[in-house]
Structure 1
Amino acid sequence: MNEASKVDRAIADRMMGDKKMKTRLKYFWQIVFCLTVLLGSVLARLADGAEPKPMNIVLFLIDDLGWRDLGCQGSAYYQTPHIDRLAQEGVRFTDAYAACAVCSPTRAALMTGKYPARLLLTDWLPSGRWNPKAKLREGRFIRGLPIEEFTLAEALREAGYRTASIGKWHLGSEPFSLPEHHGFDVNIAGNAHGAPGSYFFPYQGNWLIPTTGLRAKWNVLADGKPGEYLTDRLTDEAVTFIQESRDKPFFLYFPHYGVHTPLQAKEDIIARYETVPEDQRQGKLVYAAMVQSIDDSVGRVLATLEESQLDQNTVVIFTSDNGGFYNATSNAPLRANKGAYYEGGIRVPLIVKWPDIAIPGLIVNEPVTSTDLYPTCLAAAELPLRPNQHLDGVNLKPLLNGTSQRLPQRSLFWHYPHYNDHPSSVPSSVIRKGPWKLIETFDPEGIELYDLANDIGETKNLAATETTRTAELLEELNRWRVTVGAERMFPNPDFDPSEVPAKKSKKK
């Protein structure tokens, strides 16, 4: 290489080096700028005392709301625009289940993250062995939420949350069973009662105590104003709680008494449904009006969160404690109703809105259940999970943010060693694994197997043809019952067939 070429090469190398240096300096100053902006933002937030606040949590638990009793669930009859909007802004689960087909056990499962059979709280409270002449003696069950359980509310309160239970509690009549002893700072209308005497003030009622001829009087909320409607009153209390909790993370557990019986609603809302032709009515007019009042309640809570600038910092969960009541609504295409262990008794709506996490409008088909809400709420609060407490629940966050379409493989279980008066209800144990659902009934004795992926209405019992699958599921169900210490039913030595009512239809 001659001298001229060497000089040209040196100049070129120098220019290339200068270019690389300029590029590096450009990136360096970009990084410095970003860090400066970020540091300034952090310092400004600290100066204002605005440290990142944990997510608030609002959990609606509606009583006896059927799986299809919402517009977003396919109903053309019930008018639920606010709940439908919640579904559009959050994630809707198609295969969500209540932990029990009646109320108290589901509430206990939600609060503890444990199956009712594990808790030994398997029937609604207070209830009892209604017929001493029945074929089987019912399984034992406890009459209140054990004080030893570390509830979801206790976990959140320990982390600095302000906690409130506004509405139906129904987890025991002893003082230690009430919300104040299970992690709630505020308890409004939560007591031993499972329903109001009336939805209009003074909310009083009386109940014929079985086998005694005596009547018990009760009142779920002592104060109020003439004409006041319970769903509206509880919503007033919820709005006040939110407004008073702006400066502290809060957990609002909002278990409405609606839409449980007695079927009572505001006349002006009932009138809106009177024009619907009878053959297009999914349920009773009064029930439709009760559902709409629940929707109005959800709308008011969402509006309060927005007005308080808390909507982007609040997780909102909406679900039901069991399927729809047979004398109020139709659960079709699902089979049966509240109290039964066909899909109409246990499949429920579930919607989760979690800003910046839950993908708006996402529909999830993975089977989930009430016990999953405990660890999911802990995750929303950015708290460590408590697997030794919520033994039967899993965190649903991976489903909400699209990280996963499936949870780690698991089966779901139910166990109900009791009789009740709901149509299609018989003492049963159930397992769902994938699309397959097996029901073992105790009285009458029987095995039923359904492929829910192709038969959501449970019309074709495949137990006789899918014998291997039936045996495998029954074996897994038996192992689970042993693991959780599920109560058994035993032959009743006082059985008298003449004093046992005829079995109700198990058809849709």
Structure 2
Amino acid sequence: MKDVIRQSIGPLMAISLGMNSVAMGAKEIQPNIVFIMADDLGWTDLGVMGSDYYETPNIDRLASQGMLFTNAYAAAANSAPSRACFMTGKYTPRHGVFTVSPSARGDKTKRKLIPIKNTDDVRTDFVTMAEALQKCGYQCGHIGKWHLGDDRDGSGTGPLSQGFVFNIAGERAGSPYSYFYPYCNTKKQKCHLGLDEGRPGEYLTDRLTDEAIDFMGKHTGKPFFLHLAHHAVHVPLKAPRYLVEKYEKKVKGKYHTNPVYAAMIESLDQSVGRVCRAIDSLGIADKTIIIFYSDNGGSEPVTDNYPLREGKGSPYEGGTRVPLIMKWPGKIRAGVTCDVPISGIDFYPTFVDLAHGKQTDDLDGKDIFSLIEDNAYTRDLYWHFPAYLQSYAKSGKDWRATPYSSIRSGDWKLIYYYEDKSVELFNLKEDLEEQYDLSQKRVDKKDELYSKLMNWLKETKAPIPTELNSEYVSEK
């Protein structure tokens, strides 16, 4: 797959990107913002990113009509913290959503430290992205996965409490009750918000797309922000039978082989195609920016993130590097590739800038267009995970992640582990697979990045796990 990736995007990766790629005057109007977020979609799970089994013609077309980012990251390696960073424009220490609760997961006898207690919801004292856009005159609609609170359980931390005027299916649940109608939890008979009615056999990805198209059609009179957050391709693996049969008959790829997962990806791709065609039909394409993104890396039991190391939940590239595509006709030049590192915290200031809103100085993110213009390849990015995340069954390992913090600075990446105070250092340009720890050979670079990371942890007042776990049983 590495060769395929190089053939498809390699020749463009060294291109110098500036306002030749993002047209001058891109901020003259308040564009509609359509943000499509996939769930657990891996970096190489698209045709344009090199998959030789999954088929994504609509997403590939979107990339050919806009800008494909090769160094885009989630601000956390799993769902809830990644989405919290996206909605607040802040790193995890600022909002305290570090993981999908609880933070003490896995075998307690193998946890050397007491992890930092996790925060489940984004507090309402934060001004979310939607609240900032609402102040700029935007109608904000949320459809799909929220995972940061609920509107109907009394907590008041769901989309309708955080700046959205419309909410379908947005609640605390991290995975769908069902991918087929009825969309209910069979044990409690609790259905996803706004989805109690539907057609027998209706597929969730299709239904959320219907709702998104309906929302856009009703809000063409003023600028809107649509957050279409699909549950796909998160487990449980379920897809329309006709698509599963297609991939069961198809020759398996070198790394990608799961026919149900492939069918889920194709359904997601169909959704992107339908949304794009609806935008064209409504006559709003020239004043609409479309973004396609994933909340974290691909889940290893069902996909392979090669050439990236490991997957969802991991501190390595497979956990955080994700697909990102942006299209805006007449503003973003078609068919270009950008290797400037971008993080999930960057969308908030970017959207507020596009909406002519007032930027606040408490955001960690940066305007993406400014980063591209400045060719800000050396900008530092950070991650903080003071928790434990158990490995998947049959993996042969205890953990996907133990407490760690990490930094990417230019081509270099350092990971610091709190249990034994060890570090790993990788040169991502020469070693994308993170196979060669250079911490002993490049002590100068290790010390430089370690110092930056420690200063950032101090600046953000990041809680550090230091208390020993009395129930820990050493294997020595």
The alignment's TM-score, normalised by the length of structure 1, stands at 0.82
Q: Which residue number in structure 1 is paired with residue 359 of structure 2?
A: 385
Alignment-mate amino acid for residue 460 of structure 2: V
Q: Does 1:75 align with 2:44?
A: no
Match of 1:287 among 255, 261, 277: 261
3-state SS of 2:71 partner: strand
3-state SS of 2:322 partner: strand
Q: Which residue number in structure 1 is paired with residue 179 of structure 2?
A: 199
Match of 1:421 among 380, 390, 397: 390
- Deviation for aligned residue 1:375: 1.1
Match of 1:144 among 121, 127, 132: 121
Q: Which residue number in structure 2 is paired with residue 11 of structure 1?
A: none
Rounded to whole Å, the distance in 2 between the matches of 1:224 and 1:91 is 36
Q: Does 1:169 align with 2:146?
A: yes
Q: Is the 8 A contact 2:305 2:318 kept in 1?
A: yes
Alignment of 1:62-141 (within 5 A): 62-124=38-100, 126-130=101-105, 131-133=107-109, 134-141=111-118
Alignment-mate amino acid for residue 84 of structure 1: D
Q: Deviations over 1:113-165 (max 9, x none)?
A: 100122111112x4342354421100123221011111111111111111100
Q: Is the 8 A contact 2:384 2:405 kept in 1?
A: yes
Q: Which residue number in structure 2 is paired with residue 405 of structure 1?
A: 375
Rounded to whole Å, the distance in 1 between the matches of 2:220 and 2:380 is 40
Q: Which residue number in structure 1 is paired with residue 201 of structure 2?
A: 227
Q: Which residue number in structure 2 is paired with residue 18 of structure 1?
A: none
Alignment-mate amino acid for residue 256 of structure 1: H
3-state SS of 1:481 partner: helix
Alignment-mate amino acid for residue 384 of structure 2: H
Q: Is the 8 A contact 1:364 1:399 kept in 2?
A: no
Q: Which residue number in structure 1 is paired with residue 20 of structure 2?
A: none
Q: Which residue number in structure 2 is paired with residue 5 of structure 1?
A: none
- Deviation for aligned residue 1:376: 1.1
- Deviation for aligned residue 1:377: 1.1
Give the 3 Å change call, closer, same or farther, for CA 404–488 of structure 1 in structure 2: closer
Q: Is the 8 A contact 1:235 1:297 kept in 2?
A: yes
Q: Deviations over 1:316-339 (max 9, x none)?
A: 111111000011110000000100
Q: Does 1:430 align with 2:406?
A: yes
CA RMSD of aligned residues (A): 2.0
- Relative contact order, CA 8 A, sep 6+: which one is greater? 2
Q: Specify which structure has the higher proportion of helix.
A: 1
Alignment-mate amino acid for residue 199 of structure 1: Y
Alignment-mate amino acid for residue 386 of structure 1: T
3-state SS of 2:444 partner: helix
Match of 1:184 among 145, 150, 164: 164
Give the 3 Å change call, closer, same or farther, for CA 283–383 of structure 1 in structure 2: farther
Rounded to whole Å, the distance in 2 between the matches of 1:366 and 1:456 is 16
Q: Is the 8 A contact 1:197 1:262 kept in 2?
A: no
Give the 3 Å change call, closer, same or farther, for CA 279–393 of structure 1 in structure 2: closer
Alignment-mate amino acid for residue 422 of structure 1: S
User: Structure 1 stretches (4+) deviating beyond 4 angstroms?
Assistant: 215-218
- For structure 1, which segment, 348-357 or 226-235, has the greater mean C-alpha deviation from structure 2 after superposition? 348-357
Identity %: 40
The alignment's TM-score, normalised by the length of structure 2, stands at 0.87
Q: Is the 8 A contact 1:98 1:322 kept in 2?
A: yes
Q: Which residue number in structure 1 is paired with residue 12 of structure 2?
A: none
- Deviation for aligned residue 1:279: 5.2
Larger radius of gyration: 1
Aligned residues: 435
Structure 2 stretches lacking a partner, 5+ long? 1-27, 393-399
- Deviation for aligned residue 1:392: 0.9
Q: Is the 8 A contact 2:309 2:318 kept in 1?
A: yes
Give the 3 Å change call, closer, same or farther, for CA 219–129 of structure 1 in structure 2: farther
3-state SS of 1:454 partner: coil
